[in-house]
Amino acid sequence: MSVPRGDLAELRATVRGWCRAHVPADWRRAQTGVGGDEFVAFQQAWFQELRRAGYAVPHWPAEWGGGMSAAEQMVLYQELAAADAPRLVLAFVSIHHAAATLLTAGTDEQRRRHLPGILDGEIWVQGFSEPEAGSDLASLRTTARRDRRAGGDVFVVNGQKLWASGAAHADWCLLLARSDPAAPKRRGISYLLMDMRSPGLDVRPIRNALGDSHFCEIFLNDVEIPAENLVGPENAGWQVAQATLSAERGMTMLELAERLGNVGLRSLVDTCRRPDVTGRRPIDDTLVADRLAGFDTEIAGLRALCRDLVERHDAGTVGPADASVVKVYYSELLQRMTGFGAEIAGLGALAELAKPASSGWESGRWLLDFIGSWEWTIPGGTNEIQRTIIGERGLGLPREP
Amino acid sequence: MSVPRGDLAELRATVRGWCRAHVPADWRRAQTGVGGDEFVAFQQAWFQELRRAGYAVPHWPAEWGGGMSAAEQMVLYQELAAADAPRLVLAFVSIHHAAATLLTAGTDEQRRRHLPGILDGEIWVQGFSEPEAGSDLASLRTTARRDRRAGGDVFVVNGQKLWASGAAHADWCLLLARSDPAAPKRRGISYLLMDMRSPGLDVRPIRNALGDSHFCEIFLNDVEIPAENLVGPENAGWQVAQATLSAERGMTMLELAERLGNVGLRSLVDTCRRPDVTGRRPIDDTLVADRLAGFDTEIAGLRALCRDLVERHDAGTVGPADASVVKVYYSELLQRMTGFGAEIAGLGALAELAKPASSGWESGRWLLDFIGSWEWTIPGGTNEIQRTIIGERGLGLPREP
Amino acid sequence: MNAHSSELAVATPAGGPGAHPGTHPGAGDGADEELRAELRAVARDLLATAAGKDGGDDAQVDWALLAEAGWLGLEVPDGLDGAGVTVAETAVVCEELGRAAARAPYLGTTVLGAGALLALETTDGRDELLRALATGAPRLAVALPTGDAPLGAAGVPGTVPFRLAGSGAAARLTGRAEFVPDAAEAETLLLLALDEGGEPVVVRAVPGQPGLEVTATPVLDVSRSVGAVAAVGAPVEAGSVWRFRGDGRAGGRLLLARGALAVACDSLGAAEAMLAATVGYASVRHQFGRPIGSFQAVKHGCADMLVSVSVGRGLVTEATRALAAASSAHAAGGAGGIEEAAVIAVEVAVSRAKSYMCAAAVDVAGKAMQLHGGIGYTWESGVHRYLKRAALSRALFGSPAAHRARLARRLDADAAGRAR
Amino acid sequence: MNAHSSELAVATPAGGPGAHPGTHPGAGDGADEELRAELRAVARDLLATAAGKDGGDDAQVDWALLAEAGWLGLEVPDGLDGAGVTVAETAVVCEELGRAAARAPYLGTTVLGAGALLALETTDGRDELLRALATGAPRLAVALPTGDAPLGAAGVPGTVPFRLAGSGAAARLTGRAEFVPDAAEAETLLLLALDEGGEPVVVRAVPGQPGLEVTATPVLDVSRSVGAVAAVGAPVEAGSVWRFRGDGRAGGRLLLARGALAVACDSLGAAEAMLAATVGYASVRHQFGRPIGSFQAVKHGCADMLVSVSVGRGLVTEATRALAAASSAHAAGGAGGIEEAAVIAVEVAVSRAKSYMCAAAVDVAGKAMQLHGGIGYTWESGVHRYLKRAALSRALFGSPAAHRARLARRLDADAAGRAR
């Protein structure tokens, strides 16, 4: 953290002022229950708004439109959260995973081709998981057969991807596919950039527990991907994916923690300060007050964990299980908090049928938020897997035989 | 349950009257902080008191001094618990495991030799666990070499036993030892009755977390046990132990549940009704009231589970994991309840240095009780092992590969 | 199959309530248990078929089917064309509806509708309605307070949702009840009201009558139907104000206990379904080259689910017994009603069952979602239906915290009694 | 080794408090962090040796050793022969004492004793005592309210344990404090009292003086010493009534916060020790032919311990920073004292750290006992010492529930402020 504190205070004031001027008034109400097109339009507009301010991709190198230090990014995300700005949902994979992949392992040509596109609003999707390869991602079966004869050098891809969030709106896909079926499972995978307009592609939305369909299946039937779209060496895709998955350096977790600690806790406290039919405020019940104070405390702990994670990334001292600790803690805190909100809101929570699009995981529609919290405890390696990672890589406990 | 309900009501009244007349007044205070000898004397006297009433071994066959049906035993234990009678601690292994072993797998001669002795106050100890064989009991290493040459037919035993509760006061030991080192580990163990006055025996108390020393190590150095003291076939000791371990048919768990639901819950409620320094009663705090009601509910659930377990035993429909379900639930409920008591009692709980001997696991000295609760979550197969049993035998989930 | 199941379900048991005075109805009686086992088997079968039939999201069970199966008039006396059995049998149906996460207006019509009518003094109108009920016409809903309020220290009367002003032809009804089960589909409404003397009574009403408005309340749990019933000076038809047998307060309290117990049974069935689904999935789903159920994290999670379902089942069984005993006593007691101690015993047992089981079911469904992994989060897997259903059941007829608060007041009072 | 460690520990840091105005002391400053890392390493080393030396149950650390190491006067200013560092360094020692479950009168003498003296107006007596303290004579104890009472809505003054009547030579002291850390061994007592004007002051007293009684209170945690201090009209020596700098209430509140933070640090160290011991044991103990740490039940248990220790560490660090900042401000502010907002910030951070870490340490020690199996339940393993120590720390200076109640009042007030 080399930025002088005075400059940070100035940045904080600037961002705060910008938020006052630019965060759309009443966007939560306006975005509640909107359809997919309206959601995409709102997200794209907000992305360009942030981009104009220099706040869309602060973590990118300066030459590509970013250039904020970790300390500055922390201030930015704290202020966006404090102002309850809409979240960047649709661009998430584009500005984080796709960008990190391109910046870390891509060629100059690939970077020049795609990074400006992302800034202009190109949407990316992650094509990693498969029906039989969830937590055990390395067992993926989608094949990429290299074919140099067919009028060019291409990978011909066949298979099926699952849990591709936002695939219905995506322009490009980060694809992992098995290019050497004979190699050990982590040694035969290649990392490809796939144009979502390619022939042979079929995207089918999957309805989730909330009734939304942001997750999709992608069916791949002899889809041809030019060999120039290979990232990293052939058959080294697993290593590329590992290296870039954590490239957001803790900042997205920090943003989520700030969201939880701002609008999340505030809404929960507000829910508990609202008198019930008998005129009593739940917060005056020590049982409720105790839980609220517990959440306040846990959020403070989460924020400290996240700041620490960002600082360790920055200092190069990040441990192999640090991100897992944060993920387990955040996701289960989110689940406890939203679950408690649903309990306090009682029957009323059942009658809230839609939550605002572009909001965080704690929209204040507590039962919907509660159900949505499994979207944090399951994907990206279930919390059971994360605990194994913490035990083995974080604490050095012996692996299963 | 074939006993007509009218007779049960009569039994209940009889036991209740007997308790009023015979449960020593103020025994808790008198037994607090007593030494080993006084504890043994009190236990022996109470055992004979119960024996005279026909309440010491109600579960034994009538010919040996018992003869109560399961329904009658339930009534007996409910009333003993309601009257806060002292518990039979010292005789536990004698009247349950030893008797069950003798009755199920012993010879007539062995039964005639030992059952009357138990009624007269002979104390038994269980010699199963070893330093390297805790949860993985079948890996025990104590050897029993059969020797027919030495002036008789004997087993010569060498090794070390651990967690032998009450060994310092014991007359006899239920011993598991490896008689065939070449056989698979569950097929080479024999079950022996060992006289604790045998030469070559060394008993050393182990101080536990509470500072008590009821657990002992037993060192065995060429101890000779006559072959007539073998129970069941040679090398079938594991099977004998398995068959007799659950022979108490759920009744001891039922007794413990009744204790928890009577004196346990009452003391906890009393602790919470006592005004603190500011004059407030903890129970008037909804946070405390909610926990108390939760314990009341859980105890009701535990009692139902225990009655059900006894009835299933009686009906012959007991499932392979039913006892594990009860053990996990009881032990963790005990831990939660005593832990809560320790929290409510606050600093005062630290200053209670001794609890009454012969009391249950919920003496109202909450911090001592809390620490003692690990004596339920660890021994007899840790709760981790119990959950595996529940998953595999109770639910049919696949074993670890 | 329907004819067959109907036959089984309405077969009068060897020993109905009252046949063994002094015993716990529902407990340990061989004939009763056999009957319930048969009823359960038939119900499970029928609901699995019915709920699977239309493939829709709400698993609506055909209304005629419920009537044919004989489930609507289970507790209606023989003399009024019912099966004359106890709430223990009703509890079995509730549990099976929960297991199937089925949509059926059973809670409104039978659990609460028949339950309310059976607690009333005999009148021609009431008997006529009971007789009709067994054959499935009309559908009923009972407007009770469905939230935490009636569990408060103030007790029931202060929270009765409707008030009667005037009497006879001049009687007018005012009040409002929310989240009333099956209100929107009901053809006849039974409204819990206080008469001018402050005594709880039941008022019969019809949706659409002047001054009365019934509105469906869409909820996330699409397998349930709830609605709001509002009356603003609604004229009451002659002969539509019915009194409880004995003390109206006791009658009202037992009726609320029925509602709470019914959702506890529903949650028990739902939790068992989720446990079974999770065990099934964990046994076949492979990751890292082995079934996921062979990993301790999954296996022990399932073990915990079994433990809490077992505890919950014990509590639900006890509460069912207590309510069956009290209901028999209420029925047998005639105008004399029922003793306060019996009502308290029911409330204690029901509060335990409701608070434990309805909270546990949410936890179990949540754990089921977790252990199903990504599949569990899909709409198609149906796990979400159980989670939402369990969430509604948890809130309906008193939150766990409200029930525990009532239990704690009882613990304090009991201790005070001991100390005296 | 002692000379060496002493040298390291008392080395004045490049940037003491006040050197970087506006920064968080204890945060991110390289020189400070290096100092603390050295202090920690030395302390860990020294305590491991000291606690292991006598092999007794109470792991008593030699008093002279603490003085030689320079830990007693850490926060005493340079000018009074101390090291002039901040509470962040004291926190390191507290954490390491907890890690070793060591018995040492550090809480009474240094954390509270020096802490109290540093918050007072400068007088000769106070300065003399501070100067003596750094060399280890005399031992101090501070009689504060150690339970939940001062966290109540009424705030500190109502719960100050002693009252002064009269003034000057006629001053008499009355009151009682329980569970006062290190009271029985103290040679000088500092008693928190209200003077006749209702202002909190500190009264110096000596055990055995007329009207004053100090009694040791034996506790299950034999690694701690606590006692009761009672005064009944005890005459107060001339020059022994000392005033806080600025507002006495604020001074008293910060002193209580110091106590709470110190036990939170202790619990953090204890929890880390238990985690390390469990990981170590699980890696070598074999059952079923494999190290038990390879089973998910054990592995995931350890993972949960790490998560809560990590969260607790974050909260303890924040609280230490807040207290260090406030203490610097208090020291710098002279007679002006300290702003209410700063005191509140300290209380919020300390309540979070105390409630979370002290509860977590009991859980972690309990889990350690469980995962050690039978061995963990033996006296010899020492796990019980940590469990008992954690239990005392949890109750001392406010239970988790009392701290959370204070936090909740703050959340409510903040929300009311937002709404305005």
Task: State the best of C290, C294, C296, C302 to mutate against chain D, taking most chain D CBs within 10 Å.
Answer: C296
Tell me what pLDDT residue C331 has.
76
Q: Which of B194, B205, B191 is nearest to B162 (CA)?
A: B205
- C300 near D CB under 8 A: yes
Query: Distance from B261 to chain D by nearest Cα, in Å?
Result: 24
Would the CB atoms of C304 and B387 count as touching at under 8 Å? yes
- Residue B202: pLDDT band (50, 70, 90) is very high
Tokens of B276: 């603190």
Residue D336: per-residue pLDDT:
64
- Asked whether residue C67 carries a pLDDT value surpassing 90, the answer given is no
Q: Does A147 touch chain B (CB under 8 A)?
A: no
pLDDT at D13 over 60: no
Q: Residue B306 pLDDT > 60, yes or no?
A: yes
Is residue B333 within 8 Å of B260, Cβ to Cβ? yes
Comparing CB atoms, the residue among A266, A321, A397 nearest residue D279 is A397
DSSP H or E run through A257: helix A251-259
Catalytic residue among A248, A258, A298, A362: A248
* Chain-chain contact of D373 with B378 (C-beta, under 8 angstroms): yes
Q: Who's near B399: CB < 8 A, 6+ residues apart?
A: B392, C294
Long-range CB contact pairs, A227-230, < 8 A, 24+? A227/A146, A227/A152, A227/A153, A227/A154, A227/A155, A228/A109, A228/A153, A229/A110, A229/A155, A229/A192, A229/A193, A229/A194, A229/A195, A230/A155, A230/A190, A230/A191, A230/A192
C59 beta partners: none
Is residue A5 predicted with pLDDT exceeding 80?
Answer: no
- On the question of pLDDT at D2 being above 60, the answer is no
Q: What is the distance between the alpha carbons of residues A222 and A237, in angstroms, rounded to a whole number?
A: 20
Tell me how far the alpha carbon of residue B76 is from its chain's centroid: 17
The answer to whether A287 contacts chain B (CB < 8 Å) is: yes
Shortest CB distance from C395 goes to which of A346, A371, A377? A346
The whole-number pLDDT of residue C336 equals 63
List, in sequence order, the alpha helices (H) in A3-155.
5-22, 27-30, 36-53, 70-82, 92-93, 99-105, 108-119
| Confidence tier at D51 by pLDDT (50, 70, 90) | low
pLDDT for res D304: 98
Q: What is the mean pLDDT of chain C?
A: 88
Q: What is the pLDDT, as a whole number, of residue B5?
A: 66
Site from D156, D220, D292 to mutate, B interface, most B CB atoms within 10 angstroms: D220
- Distance (Å, whole) CA B318 – CA A256: 50
pLDDT band of residue C56 (cuts 50, 70, 90) is low
Q: Is D288 on the interface with C (CB under 8 A)?
A: no
pLDDT (tens digit per residue) in C228-256 = 999 999 999 989 999 999 888 999 999 99
- B162 contacts chain D (CB < 8 A): yes
Q: Are B118 and B91 in contact (CB under 8 A)?
A: yes
pLDDT value at residue C15: 32
Question: If you search the block for the tokens 């008191």, which residue do you land on?
Answer: B49
- Measured in angstroms, the CA of A401 and the nearest CA of chain D are apart by 7
Specify the higher pLDDT residue, C265 or A135: C265
Predicted pLDDT of residue A120 = 96
- pLDDT, position C51: 63
Chosen for mutation from B283, B285, B286, B291 (greatest number of chain A CBs closer than 10 Å) is B286
The reported pLDDT for the residue numbered C156 is: 60
D93 close to D39: Cβ distance less than 8 angstroms: yes
Q: Does a cis peptide bond (omega within 30 degrees of 0) precede residue D138?
A: yes
Q: Token pair 């609507």 is at which residue? A: C72
Positions of B marked active-site: 248
pLDDT in tens, A56-77: 999 999 999 999 999 999 999 9
C282 pLDDT higher than 90: yes
Residue of C nearest to A206 (CA): C378
Tens-place pLDDT, residues D338-373: 888 999 999 999 999 999 999 999 999 999 999 999
Nearest CA in chain D to C297: D296
Q: Tell me the mean pLDDT in the region C62-71.
A: 86
Say how many residues make up chain B.
401
Whether A138 has its CB under 8 Å from any CB of chain C: the answer is no
Among A23-32, C8-17, D79-88, D145-154, the range scoring the smallest mean pLDDT is C8-17
Residues B285, A285: C-beta atoms closer than 8 Å:
no
Domains and CATH numbers, chain C: 3-138 (1.10.540.10), 143-243 (2.40.110.10), 248-419 (1.20.140.10)
B380: distance to nearest CA of chain C, Å?
18
pLDDT of residue C410: 96
Q: Which residue has the higher pLDDT, B62 or D59?
A: B62
pLDDT at B330 over 90: yes
Instruction: Give me the residue from D293, D303, D315 closest to A300, CB to CB.
Output: D315
In chain B, residues under CATH classification 1.20.140.10 are 249-394
| Beta-carbon-side half-sphere exposure of residue B101 (alpha carbons within 13 Å) | 31
**Alpha-carbon distances, residue A292 vs A282, C333, D151, D310, D412 (angstroms):** 10, 48, 17, 21, 10
A284 in C contact zone (CB under 8 Å): no
CATH class of B124-234: mainly beta
pLDDT beyond 90 at D275: yes
pLDDT range class, residue B278, cuts 50, 70, 90: confident
pLDDT for the residue A3: 56
Tens digits of residue pLDDT in C329-360? 887 766 566 889 999 999 999 999 999 999 99
At residue C129 the predicted structure's pLDDT band, cuts being 50, 70 and 90, is very high
Q: What is the pLDDT of residue B2?
A: 45
Return the HEC string of C165-208. ECCHHHCEEEEEEEEEECCCCCCEEEEEEECCCCCEEEEEECCC
Q: How confident is the model at residue C1 (pLDDT cuts 50, 70, 90)?
A: very low
Single-letter residue type at C371: L
Q: Which residues fall within 8 angstroms of residue D37, CB to CB, at 6 or more apart? A: none
Which chains have 3+ CB pairs within 8 A of A?
B, C, D
| B215-251 confidence digits (pLDDT tens) | 999 999 999 999 999 999 999 999 999 877 777 778 8
Q: How far apart are CA B361 and CA B39, in angstroms?
A: 16
Alpha-carbon gap: D353 to the closest alpha carbon of chain C (Å): 28
Q: What is the mean pLDDT of residues B107-126?
A: 97
Tell me what pLDDT residue C33 has.
Answer: 86
Q: Is the pTM of this model over 0.90?
A: yes
Distance from the B220 Cα atom to the nearest Cα atom in chain A, whole angstroms: 34
Q: What pLDDT score does A6 carry?
A: 73
Between residues D59 and A115, the one the model is more confident about: A115
Please check whether residue D300 touches C, CB under 8 A.
yes
pLDDT at C21 over 60: no
Which amino acid belongs to residue D150? P
Residues C319 and C258: their CA atoms lie apart, in Å, by 10
pLDDT digits (tens, 9 = 90+) for A79-114: 999 999 999 999 999 999 999 999 999 999 999 999
Distance of alpha carbon D353 from alpha carbon D363, whole angstroms: 15
CA distances from B284 to B344, C403, C416, D149, D264 (A): 13, 16, 14, 16, 28
- Give the span between the Cα atoms of D348 and D352, in whole angstroms: 6
Instruction: Give the pLDDT mean for B338-363.
Output: 94
Beta-carbon separation of B285 and A286 below 8 A: yes
- pLDDT at position C14 over 80: no
Burial letters B67-95, b for 16+ CB under 10 A, else e: ebbbbbbbbbbbbbbbbbbbbbbbbbbbb
Chain A residues lying within 8 Å of B287, measured CB to CB: 286-287, 290
Task: Report how far residue C329's alpha carbon sits from residue C349's, in angstroms, rounded to the nearest whole number.
Answer: 17
pLDDT at C334: 60
> Looking at the DSSP assignment, which residues form a beta bridge with residue C193?
C162, C201
Topology adopted by domain B249-394: Butyryl-CoA Dehydrogenase, subunit A; domain 3 (1.20.140)
Query: What is the average pLDDT score of chain D?
Result: 88
